[in-house]
Structure 1
Amino acid sequence: MALKEQISDEMKAALLGGNRFVGETLRNLKAAI
């Protein structure tokens, strides 16, 4: 699995779990790749 796909999955899981800080951090990380 590509790193970008893994980050997308983690971001979705974080947002679904209500963890907005982690979701935003992962989104920024994905944009940087």
Structure 2
Amino acid sequence: MDRHKLNTISCGRDVQRVQKAICSGFFRNAAKRDPQ
């Protein structure tokens, strides 16, 4: 995070933010366009 100059913050007890971040990361790596 230091290299990109991004702040590290906590979501506290809001686990939905963590769930959304994990799901968006999986989707980005798993989604492909159908060649048809």
User: Which has the larger share of helix?
Assistant: 1
TM-score, with length taken from structure 2: 0.45
**More relative contact order, 1 or 2 (CA 8 Å, 6+ apart):** 1
